[in-house]
Chains A and B, each alone.
Chain A
Amino acid sequence: MNVAVLIKQTPDTAELPKVTVDEAESGELQATMVINPWDEFAVEEAIDLSDRFGCETVAISLGRADETDALKHALAMGVDSAVHVDEDVIDGGDEWATAEALAAAVRKVGGGEDVELVLAGKMSVDGNSGVIYAGVACKLDWDLLVNVTRIVDIVDGKLIAEQAFEGGQETVEVPLPVVISVAKEINEPRYPSFMGIRKASRATIPTWGRDHLEIDASRTTRWNDLSKPEPEEVQVHIFDGATVEEKAAQLADALMAEKVI
Chain B
Amino acid sequence: MASTDELLYTEEHNLVRKMAYDFTRNEVMPIIAEHDRKHTFPFELLPKMAQLGFLGICLPARYGGAGMDFLSLGIVSEALEYGDSSVRETVAVHLALHALPIFQWGTEEQKESFLPGLASGDHIACFGLTEPGAGSDVAAIQSRAMRQGEEYVLTGEKMWITLADVADRFLVFAKTQPDQGARGISAFILERGWQGLTTGTLEGKMGVRASNTGWINMQDVRVPACHRLGEEGEGFKIAMSCLDNARFGVAAGSVGIIRACIDESVKYALQRRTFGKPIAEHQLVQQMIAHMQQDLDIGELLVWKAGTLKNRGVRNTRETSMAKWFCTEAARRAADNAVQVHGAYGYSDEYNVERHLRNTKSAVIYEGTSQIHTLMQAAYTLGMREDRPLRCPMPAYDPDTWQ
Contacts and interface: CB of A to CB of B under 8 A. Distances in A.
A193 B11 CA distance: 15
Interface in B30-89: 52-53, 57, 66-68, 72
Interface string A175-205: 0000000000000000111110110110000
A73 interface: yes
Top 9 A-B residue pairs of the complex, sorted by shortest distance between their CB atoms: A201-B12, A194-B66, A197-B15, A201-B11, A192-B19, A194-B53, A191-B19, A76-B15, A194-B68
B18 A34 contact: yes
Contacts of B11: 72, 201
B16 A194 contact: yes
B15 A193 contact: no
A73 to B, nearest CB: 7
Contact of B10 (A191, A194, A195, A201): A201
B52 A73 contact: no
Nearest to A195: B66
Interface of A: 34, 72-73, 76, 191-195, 197-198, 200-201
B23 interface: yes
25 contacts: A34-B18, A72-B11, A73-B15, A76-B15, A76-B19, A191-B19, A191-B22, A191-B23, A192-B18, A193-B53, A194-B16, A194-B53, A194-B57, A194-B66, A194-B67, A194-B68, A194-B72, A197-B16, A197-B19, A198-B12, A198-B403, A200-B15, A201-B10, A201-B11, A201-B15
B53 A192 contact: no
Interface of B: 10-12, 15-16, 18-19, 22-23, 52-53, 57, 66-68, 72, 403
A220 to B, nearest CB: 36
Contacts of B57: 194
Nearest to A68: B11
B58 to A, nearest CB: 10
B256 to A, nearest CB: 16
A4 B42 CA distance: 38
Contacts of B19: 76, 191-192, 197
A193 B72 CA distance: 13
Given A191-B52, A197-B19, 4 more contacts: A191-B19, A197-B16, A201-B10, A201-B11
A192 B68 CA distance: 14
A193 B12 contact: no
Contacts of A192: 15, 18-19
B91 to A, nearest CB: 14
Nearest to A40: B22
A76 B17 CA distance: 12
B48 to A, nearest CB: 9
Contact of A193 (B10, B18, B52): B52
Which of A76, A193, A197 is most buried by chain B, counting CB atoms within 10 A of its CB?
A197
Contacts of A198: 12, 403
Nearest to B3: A32
Which of B12, B23, B72, B403 is most buried by chain A, counting CB atoms within 10 A of its CB?
B12
Contacts of A197: 12, 15-16, 19
B209 to A, nearest CB: 26
Nearest to B399: A198
Nearest to B53: A194
Which of B15, B52, B57, B66 is most buried by chain A, counting CB atoms within 10 A of its CB?
B15
Contacts of B68: 194
B348 to A, nearest CB: 18
A71 B52 CA distance: 20
A73 B18 contact: yes
Contacts of B10: 201
Contacts of A191: 19, 22-23, 52
Contacts of A193: 52-53
A59 to B, nearest CB: 15
Contacts of B22: 191
A92 B397 CA distance: 46
A17 B271 CA distance: 12
A24 B340 CA distance: 35
A205 to B, nearest CB: 11
A175 to B, nearest CB: 37
Contacts of A76: 15, 19
Nearest to A17: B270
A204 to B, nearest CB: 12
A72 B403 CA distance: 20
A106 B22 CA distance: 30
Contacts of B16: 194, 197
Given A194-B67, A194-B68, A72 B53 contact: no
Nearest to B11: A201
B171 to A, nearest CB: 25
Which of A191, A198, A200 is most buried by chain B, counting CB atoms within 10 A of its CB?
A191
A16 to B, nearest CB: 13
Contacts of B53: 193-194
A210 to B, nearest CB: 27
A72 B15 contact: yes
Nearest to A72: B15
